[in-house]
Amino acid sequence: MNTPAALQAPKYTPTQIEPKWQAAWQKAQAFKAEPDPTKPKYYVLEMLPYPSGVLHIGHVRNYTLGDVLARYKRAKGFNVMHPMGWDAFGLPAENAAIKNKTHPEKWTLANTAEMKRVMNLFGWSYDWSKEITSCLPNYYGPQQNLFISLYEKGLVYRGEALVNWDPVDQTVLANEQVVDGKGWRSGAAVERRKMPQWFMKITNYAEELLADLDKLPNWPARVKTMQENWLGKSRGLQFSFKVEGWDKTLEVFTTRPDTLYGATFCAIAPEHPLALQAAQNDPQARLFIEDAGKLGTAQEIIDKAEKKGHKTPYTAIHPLTGAKLPIYIANFVLMTYGTGAIMSVPAHDDRDHAFATKYKLPIVEVIHAEGQNVQQAPYVGEGTLINSPLINGMGVEDAKATIIAKAEAEGWGKGLTQWRLRDWGIGRQRYWGAPIPFIHCQTCGVVPVPRESLPVTLPQDVQFTGSGNPLANHPTWKHTTCPKCSQKAVRETDTMDTFTDSSWYFLRYLCPEATEPLDKQKVQYWMTNPQGQAGVDQYIGGIEHAVLHLLYARFFTKALRDCGYLTFDEPFAALLCQGMVIGNSYQTAAGEYIYPSQVEWKEAKNGEKAAYHKTTGEPLKVLPAEKISKSKNNGDSPDDLLARYGADTLRLFILFTAPPERDLEWSEAAIEGAHRFLNRLWNLTHKVATLCPREADKSLARQSPQDDGGRLLARKIHQTIRKVNEDIEKFQYNTMVAACMELLNDLTKPTAEQSPQTLREGTEALLRLLNPAAPHITEELWQQLGHTTMLCQTAWPEYNPEVAKADEITLVVQVNGKLRARLTVPAEITEAQAIQAAKLAPEAQSWLTNQTLQKAIYVPGRLVNLTTT
């Protein structure tokens, strides 16, 4: 049905129109956001990227989701804040510095420039004047200022932590740098080592962090559950064992005091003082502790490792029975949890059972349940207490209370609320992070850097050898004088965990130029709502941040509130966690990761397909799909796709291909479909521009077309407007795009040309609905249709419920739950009429004859289910 007009239309060339409109938006400053009391505000935020240098498809997904919302809300009349920046500190820059001899700052800033270039090609509607870069002093300086406020509030302290120590490189390793118990660079076996460390007192806020989850109805339930489990509030008994052969008592915490009579041994962490004591006269114990240390600090590794123990000469005296319980040093007990020691009840705990079986320790059943044999498998459920003189016959809860009361009365223990959450260790022995603004003085101790001397900046002339901490190794940087006594002193050489940078960036976006860390007025405008919930109105980011980043940012908000910077409790009023984009990774025999674009699939002799390197032809190992990451190179830069299809196609495709929360295995297979759709939209609009002259002030609703085709088309248009509205509000962007495709299918039917005015209205509505998803082509076509105001400054279309209303529905007739007939009935049918119609439905008759009707279930607008006896 190509009309001459459509044939004459210019070809859709994204490479021409996309830069044109990007320039137009920039010239109009269309996305600039400043406080405006006359408009409701809307703050859309996407998680800021780590500038690896490659913008991959996961970013494209994240930022397109946010951009649809930002553009939609602008069209709805909101004053929209939509900023972007760079989480620019972190390990990869330092690794690159060691590998390529480039300075981390040079490497990082080159990466941000490259990523910003690509980001601009996508037409995301950011106000770039709000950009922050966390590795620059104008960001981390204010952060140091806030850090000192937190210190003054008592929320920062020095403590000790266990770290992965690489004895060859003399450096602390991140968990990801430990591979099979060895340092990834040096290959040396790691040692778990205790180090002085900076902490933030997040545990002060444990109760509030838990309680306030209830104030976040617009967060995904799964994220709240994960945070709740992470906080891990539990009620239990902390008590002490007297120890034979030791002058101190052994403190343990248990959530199962009811099983106290079932305790048959104790287990202590390899770093426990009693373990160290035992090691003094026992070389075997020393070896065991050293060996346990090789597991490193990662919980996963410790949990999965074979449970091992070493018996000490000490015994703990059971507080109720006086029994002597052997004390084992155990590789699965960690000093950083609770007291670093546990009572072990093998009959009713999985790990204890495995341990007891291995070392042939007694297993004493104290909770009985039918059909359970605790000698074979532990039983952790409810039951009746046995073998426990004080509490025999009780249930678990009563028994817990009784034991706690007894311990408190006799003074050997007390009931206690325990949290799984530990304080946040924020110090890093690395160069590429915000310097912790403190000075160590021999006489005055640890002294904060005076605020007027901030920022404490990183030195530029640094050697990156991979050995030790570059800041500590720098010849002059750390030497300074004490701000209190003016004596010679040294700077702290630890830098901050990069999670610190991302814990408050959403506030600094609102006032990137402010001399104070935060401009209270601006923060107040953008972060609070006269009615409704305070915080970022919609935060969007990957599910991988469900716990750490989001918990730290929540903590920071509460801490800054208590320091007087903020007036609200929670940073993010609503949260959308997009699913991961995952992809296979490809590895050469040498272990190098190859980008998917470099991979070619060829048929091998046995008929199966195998992966080969495109240029070298070398066979590649295909690894299972996982999160696209910079270390695995399993995501291509979308540059190539952009050049072939344009930004609008990519945006539309990524929205269309799956609902936002769902994980997505990357495949380009369906991208052609999105491109085809835009081409059809292009051709239709050019046809409409010539066929259907513009009648500026006639709205479709008032026009009420007379003919049937026109009326049906008008209905479809208004149903689509309604659906797109609903879908955007619910983030169902995939079905939103599908609805637009449906409308286009109707608009391109030959019959649509019989109602030119409706056809034009429909095309215009479609352009407006698609604008948030595909902003460039819709702007261009809007202009082609004769409009002079940009779409990004045009209000959202309204739908008319009268026009959208259906007048007939399909009524399904079931007999005993089985589909037997479909009837077409008027939309406003009553229940009685519907049941009557169902009983008379011809196709249902054979199922109803000689049957006695029991009841009729009516679901309005849907079905009637007739049940028989």
Partner RNA sequence: GCCCAUGUAGUCCAACUGGUAGUAGACAGAGGACUUAAAAUCCUUACAGUGCCGGUUCGAAUCCGGCCAUGGGCACCA
- Dist CA 383 CA 371 (whole Å): 11
Choice between 387 and 734, CB closer to RNA: 734
* Of residues 668-707, those binding RNA (CB under 7 A): 669-670, 672-674, 676-677, 679-680
Contact between residue 777 and residue 14 where contact means Cβ atoms under 8 Å apart: yes
CB closer to RNA, 497 vs 780: 497
Long-range (24+ apart) CB contacts under 8 A made by 359-368 are 359/309, 359/311, 359/328, 361/264, 361/265, 361/326, 362/264, 363/264, 364/261, 364/262, 364/264, 365/262, 366/258, 366/259, 366/261, 366/262, 367/258, 367/259, 367/262, 367/396
* Contacting residue, 39, 235, 358, 662, with RNA by CB under 7 A: 662
Q: Report d(CA 412, CA 240) in Å as an integer.
A: 6
Q: Using CB under 7 A, which of 303, 828, 831, 843 touches RNA?
A: 303
| Helix (H), strand (E) at residue 197 | strand 191-200
CB 12 within 8 A of CB 107: no
**Among the listed residues 114, 618, 742, 753, the single contact to RNA using CB under 7 A:** 742
Is 137 in a helix, a strand, or coil?
Answer: helix
Q: Kindly identify the residues of this chain, within the stretch 189-208, that bind RNA according to CB under 7 A.
A: 195, 197
Find the shortest distance in angstroms from Cβ 656 to RNA.
6
* One character per residue 402-441, x = contact with RNA (rule: CB under 7 A): ------------------xxx-xx-xxx------------
Residue whose structure tokens are 């920022």: 455
CB of 408 to RNA, least distance (A): 27
Interaction residues for RNA, span 638-657 (CB under 7 A): 656-657
Instruction: List the interface residues with RNA, window 709-728 (CB under 7 A).
Output: none
Cα separations in angstroms, 395 against 29, 43, 253 = 69, 52, 21
Burial (CB count <10 Å: 0-12, 13-18, 19+), residue 442:
exposed
- Of the two residues 259 and 720, which places its CB atom closer to RNA in the complex? 720
Looking at the Cβ atoms of 173 and 560, the one nearer to RNA is 173
Distance of CA 81 to the CA centre of its chain: 21
Instruction: Choose the binding region for RNA from 308-316, 341-349, 601-609, 737-745 (rule: CB under 7 A).
Output: 737-745
Choosing from 68, 190, 507, 582, the residue that interacts with RNA (CB under 7 A) is 582
First to last CA, the chain: 57
Q: Which CB atom, from 497 or from 764, has the smaller least distance to RNA?
A: 497
Q: Between 7 and 28, name the residue whose CB sits nearer to RNA.
A: 7
- Nearer Cβ to RNA, position 133 or 388? 133
Which residue of 118, 168, 738, 804 would you call a contact of RNA, by CB under 7 A? Answer: 738
How many chain residues are in contact with RNA, going by CB under 7 A? 100
- Does residue 509 bind RNA (CB under 7 A)? no
Q: Report the distance separating Cα 71 and Cα 63, nearest Å.
A: 12
Q: Is 172 an interacting residue with respect to RNA (CB under 7 A)?
A: yes
Nearer Cβ to RNA (3/794): 3
Output the CA torsion 683→689→692→697 (10° steps): 130
Longest pairwise C-alpha distance within the chain: 105
Distance CA 177, CA 441 (A): 33
Question: Is the CB of 413 or the CB of 660 nearer to RNA?
Answer: 660
Q: Is residue 276 within the footprint of RNA (CB under 7 A)?
A: no
Considering only residues 782 through 841, tell me which ones interact with RNA, judged by CB under 7 A.
810, 812, 814, 816-817, 819, 822
Q: Residue from 84, 109, 135, 173 that binds RNA (CB under 7 A)? A: 173
List beta partners, residue 491. Answer: 439
Burial of 411 (0-12, 13-18, 19+ CB in 10 A): exposed
Helix (H, G, I), strand (E, B) or coil at 297: coil
Minimum CB–partner distance for residue 608 and RNA (Å): 16
- Candidates 20, 215, 235, 304; binder of RNA (CB under 7 A) is 304
Residues of span 19-58 touching RNA by CB under 7 A = 50
Q: Closest separation between CB of residue 393 and RNA, Å? A: 28
Phi, psi of 431 (to 5 degrees): -85, -50
Residues 352-411, interacting with RNA (CB under 7 A): none
User: Does residue 414 sit in helix, strand or coil?
Assistant: strand
CB of 248 to RNA, least distance (A): 26
| Nearer to RNA among residue 89 and residue 612 (C-beta) | 89
Q: How far is the CB of 746 from RNA (least distance, A)?
A: 9
Among 249, 480, 528, 867, binds RNA (CB under 7 A): 867
Residues numbered 534-553 forming contacts with RNA, rule: CB under 7 A: 543-549
221 binds RNA (CB under 7 A): yes
Binding to RNA in span 232-251, by CB under 7 A: 232
Among 90, 270, 378, 470, binds RNA (CB under 7 A): 90
- Find all residues with CB under 8 Å of 285, minimum gap 6, and list them: 275, 278, 279, 310, 312, 329
Nearest Cα residue to 15 out of 644, 636, 641, 638 = 644
Nearer Cβ to RNA (241/424): 424
Say if residues 191 and 413 touch (Cβ distance below 8 Å).
Answer: no
Minimum gap (Å) between residue 684 Cβ and RNA: 9
Number of other residues whose CB lies within 10 A of the CB of residue 179: 11
Out of 229, 567, 616, 830, point to the residue binding RNA (CB under 7 A): 229
- Of 85-93, 103-111, 452-460, 527-535, the segment contacting RNA by CB under 7 A is 85-93
Percent helix, percent strand, percent coil in the chain, to nearest 5: 40, 20, 40
Other Cβ atoms within 10 Å of 524 Cβ, number: 16
- 412 vs 419 by CB, closer to RNA: 419
In 3-state terms, what secondary structure has residue 619?
Answer: strand
Contact 135, 89 (CB under 8 A): yes
Distances (CA, A) of 711 to 473, 700, 755: 78, 10, 9
Q: Smaller CB distance to RNA: residue 2 or 850?
A: 2
- Site residues for RNA, 618-637, by CB under 7 A, read 624-627, 629
Name the residue with tokens 């965990």: 497
The answer to whether the beta carbons of residues 666 and 612 sit under 8 Å apart is: no
Residue 469 Cβ, how far from RNA at the closest point, in Å? 10
> Would strands 488-491 and 438-441 be described as parallel, antiparallel, or unpaired?
antiparallel
Name residues contacting RNA, limited to 281-300 (CB under 7 A): 297-300
Gyration radius from the chain CA atoms: 33
Least separation in angstroms between CB 178 and RNA: 8
Q: How far is the CB of 793 from RNA (least distance, A)?
A: 29
> Applying CB under 7 A, does 495 fall inside the site for RNA?
no
Span near RNA by CB under 7 A; candidates 226-234, 243-251, 395-403, 764-772: 226-234
Give least dist CB 420 to RNA, A: 5
Cβ at position 71, least distance to RNA in Å = 21
Compute the distance between CA of residue 280 and CA of residue 73 in angstroms, rounded to an integer.
68
Of residues 379 and 424, the one with the C-beta less far from RNA = 424
Site string for RNA, 437-476 (x = CB under 7 A): ----------------------------------------
Contact 334, 340 (CB under 8 A): yes
Q: Binding RNA by CB under 7 A: which of 18, 46, 67, 87?
A: 87
Closest to RNA by CB, 113 or 859:
859
